[in-house]
Structure formats: structure tokens, C-alpha cells
Amino acid sequence: MKAFKITFLSLASLLWIQCAEEQKLHDCIDESKINETAACYEIYAPVCGCDGKTYSNDCYAQNAGVTSYTVGACSEKN
């Protein structure tokens, strides 16, 4: 029974973490701002989106619906 409790708690913890990550991604992308046909300038000035993806520049990030980003490429850990 003790092993079942530990397994159940481990599973519950993993599900909670997964839900938190999904909520973070949901808050990061505004689907109403996604514009796949928009033209962006072709200057490489990478930004790291809140979704952990590196975009070529802020225009690409904004048209992907990213709500926030930082200047520079994402680290390899993302």
C-alpha cells in the first residue's frame, strides 16, 4: 500500500507540473494575434519567446502570437 501511495503522489505531481507548463504556454501564445501570412523584415535579430523558442526577430515572434519575449536567442536548456 505504501508503494501505491508513493506512486500515486509521484503521478499526481507530474500531472500538476504538466498542467502548469500547459497553462504557461497557453498564457504565452495569443491565438488571435497569429498571422501566418504577414511579411516580416529579414534582419536576423533573434528574440527568445516566452514559449522557449528562438525567433529570427520580433516581427516573427509577434506574428506567431507570442505575448512576450526577450532580446537574444533562447538558451540551449529551453
- Of 36, 38, 30, the residue nearest 67 (C-alpha): 30
Task: Judge: domain 31-71, CATH 3.30.2130.10.
Answer: no
Q: 63 with 34: CB under 8 angstroms?
A: yes
pLDDT digit string (tens) for 20-73? 455 455 689 999 999 999 999 999 999 999 999 999 999 999 999 999 999 999
Amino acid at 10: S
The pTM assigned to this predicted structure is 0.66
List the chain domain ranges. Answer: 31-71
Q: 25 with 4: CB under 8 angstroms?
A: no
pLDDT digit string (tens) for 15-30? 444 454 554 556 899 9
Of 75 and 10, the one with more pLDDT: 75
Q: 68 with 76: CB under 8 angstroms?
A: no
